[in-house]
Amino acid sequence: MKRLLKGRLSFIFLFAMLTLILSGCGEPFLSTLQPAGEVARTQYDLMLLSVVIMVGVIIVVTAIFLIVLFKFRRKDESIPKQVEGSHKLEIIWTVIPILLLLVLAVPTVKATFDLADVSPMEETNEDGKTDVTTVNVRANLYWWEFEYPNEEIITSQELVVPTDERVYFNLIASDVKHSFWIPAVGGKMDTNTDNVNKFWLSFDGDKAGEMEDNIFYGKCAELCGPSHALMDFKVRAIPRDQFDQWVGNMQSVTEPVAAESATAQQGQEIFNNSCIGCHAVTPANTTPEAARMAPNLTNFGDREHIIGYLENNEENIKKWLNDPESLKPGNKMTDTYGDLSDEEIDALTQYLTGLKVQD
């Protein structure tokens, strides 16, 4: 039986070591353990507080546990004293946990209210707009639309936000329930089909600067169908002035940008015949939601990724145009357009990569 005890001890030691090591892992653009915003920071602090309390509990339990296992193994056939209980002990292990929980409950309640404070986005100014950065998120099978109601522009798949200020979100789903999650920046909120949910996040400028191309990863956190796993989006968090510039660039696109090269022009033709029914290439938010059936592609060429998770390069675009089903099973684009020849796909790819608002 000595072996058993040794096994157990090393087990616990192993866990402690593992915990220390593992908390350092994870990628900074995705990990909740490397918070890059006020919300994630609040949540991370709560995690630390609860971990400290819980480790305290575990140490007490483990200590008693080990003493018991060492000391009270059966040595002879004698009958131990039958103890009914102990009021003193029972009161101790009722009261102390209550106190510990209070220590956690108070900051929890405070944080819960703080994180739900969306009052600034509910005050409208004389234009019927808000004075804060607001984004309407609309989740779809399996893509994300981001509408900026104040700026009156739309983009998709890659959310662009200003850093170091609170950004407010209206969240809704157009088909089935999804959930909007940017782990490194803050906890998630569901996009329901029934109602608009509201919350805010803020993006830390310094942390964002450390990311490749200022990009954080976003995820859909609610099972929504076969491609739930692939319903990623990206978040580009940039300083306020760059954000304003981006908005200006977007707003300046009022007509579909004409393609330059001959191949791209051919591609634009194909696009106008087969794709434009669903995909818009202008950012204005004047079309009704129901008519916005697919991602807005105005700044497609600027995005670092396509379809939410693949690197934006010609090879991937062609793969997608050729057989969307293989990259996102169950997506709504498959079979909505006729077979395209390799040539047509090349042309389309040329056109799409040229869709840029930034130089």
Partner 1 sequence: MSTLAQKKGFGATIWDYLTTVDHKKIAILYLIAGGFFFLVGGLEAMFIRVQLAVPNNDFVSAGLYNEILTMHGTTMIFLAAMPLVFAFMNAIMPLQIGARDVAFPFLNSLGFWLFFFGGVFLNLSWFLGGAPDAGWTSYASLSLASEGHGIDFYVLGLQISGAGTLIGGINFLVTIINMRAPGMTYMRMPMFTWATFVTSALILFAFPPLTIGLFLMLFDRMFGANFFDPTMGGNTIIWEHFFWIFGHPEVYILILPAFGIFSEIFAIFSRKRLFGYSSMVFATVLIGFLGFMVWAHHMFTTGMGPIANAIFAVATMAIAVPTGIKIFNWLFTMWGGSIQFTTPMMYAVAFIPSFTMGGVTGVMLASAAQDYQYHDSYFVVAHFHYVIVGGVVFALLAGTHLYWPKMFGTMLNEKMGKWTFWLFLIGFHLTFFIQHFLGLWGMPRRIFTFNEGQGLDAANAVSTVGAFFMAVSTIILLINIIMTSIKNEKVGSDPWGDGRTLEWAIPSPPPFYNFKQLPLVRGLDALWIEKMEGKKGMTPAEPLGDIHMPNNSIIPFVMSSGLFVAAFGAMYHADEGNTWGIPVLIIGLLITLGSMLVRSVKDDHGYHIHKEELVDDDDKGVKA
Question: Which CB atom, from 221 or from 238, has the smaller least distance to partner 1?
Answer: 221
Does residue number 27 form part of the binding site for partner 1 (CB under 8 A)? Answer: yes
Residue 83 in the binding site for partner 1 (CB under 8 A): yes
Distance of CA 236 to the CA centre of its chain: 12
Smallest distance, Å, CB 50 to partner 1? 5
Among 144, 169, 217, 271, binds partner 1 (CB under 8 A): 217
Tell me the closest approach of the beta carbon of residue 219 to partner 1, in angstroms.
Answer: 5
Torsions phi, psi for 60 (to 5 deg): -60, -50
Where residue 67 falls (left for φ over 0; alpha for ψ -120 to 50; beta otherwise) is: alpha
Choice between 85 and 128, CB closer to partner 1: 85
CB 335 to partner 1: min, Å: 15
- CB of residue 280 vs partner 1: minimum separation in angstroms? 24
| Buried residues in 80-100 as b, exposed as e (16+ CB within 10 A) | eeeeeeeeeeeeeeeeeeeee
Closest to partner 1 by CB, 28 vs 256, is 28
Rounded to whole angstroms, the Cα distance separating 121 from 200 reads 9
Q: Which amino acid is at 272?
A: N
Interaction of residue 316 with partner 1, rule CB under 8 A: no
Q: Is 293 in the site for partner 1 (CB under 8 A)?
A: no
CB 168 within 8 A of CB 118: yes
Among 62, 150, 265, 316, interactor with partner 1 by CB under 8 A = 62
Q: Is 119 in the site for partner 1 (CB under 8 A)?
A: no
Q: Identify the residue among 16, 52, 64, 262 touching partner 1 (CB under 8 A).
A: 64
Other C-beta atoms lying within 10 Å of the C-beta of residue 250: 23
CB 182 within 8 A of CB 36: no
Closer residue to partner 1 in complex, CB, 227/268: 227
Identity of the residue, 189 or 281, whose beta carbon is nearer to partner 1 in the bound complex: 189
Instruction: Report helix, strand or coil for 270.
Output: helix
Q: Considering the rule CB under 8 A, would residue 46 count as an interface residue with partner 1?
A: yes
Nearer Cβ to partner 1, position 221 or 250?
A: 221
Per rule CB under 8 A, is residue 132 in the interface with partner 1? no
335 belongs to the binding site for partner 1 (CB under 8 A): no
283 with 253: CB under 8 angstroms?
A: yes
Q: Look up residue 319 and give its two tokens.
A: 């793969």
Q: What are phi and psi of 41, to 5 degrees?
A: -65, -50
Residue with tokens 């169908």: 225
Out of 2, 20, 88, 89, name the contact with partner 1 by CB under 8 A. 89
* Three-state DSSP class for residue 1: coil
Rounded (10°) CA dihedral 327, 233, 219, 114: -170
Residue number, 168 or 246, with CB nearest to partner 1: 168
Nearer to partner 1, 110 or 129 (CB): 110
From candidates 33, 278, 293, 340, binder to partner 1 by CB under 8 A? 33
Which tokens sit at 102? 């209070």
- Does 61 bind partner 1 (CB under 8 A)? Our answer is yes
Helix (H, G, I), strand (E, B) or coil at 137: strand
Partnered with residue 197 across adjacent β-strands are 171
> Per rule CB under 8 A, is residue 104 in the interface with partner 1?
yes
Residues in region 229-288 near partner 1 by CB under 8 A: 229-230
Contacts of 267 (CB under 8 A, 6+ apart): 259, 344, 346, 347, 348, 349, 350, 351, 352
Which residues are CB-neighbours of 71 under 8 A, at least 6 positions away?
Answer: none
Q: Which stretch binds partner 1 (CB under 8 A): 54-62, 130-138, 256-264, 339-347?
A: 54-62
> Per rule CB under 8 A, is residue 17 in the interface with partner 1?
no
Question: Which residues inside 144-203 make contact with partner 1, applying CB under 8 A?
Answer: 171, 173, 175-177, 179, 181, 183-184, 186-190, 192-195, 197-198
Question: Which of 2, 20, 88, 94 is close enough to bind partner 1 by CB under 8 A?
Answer: 94
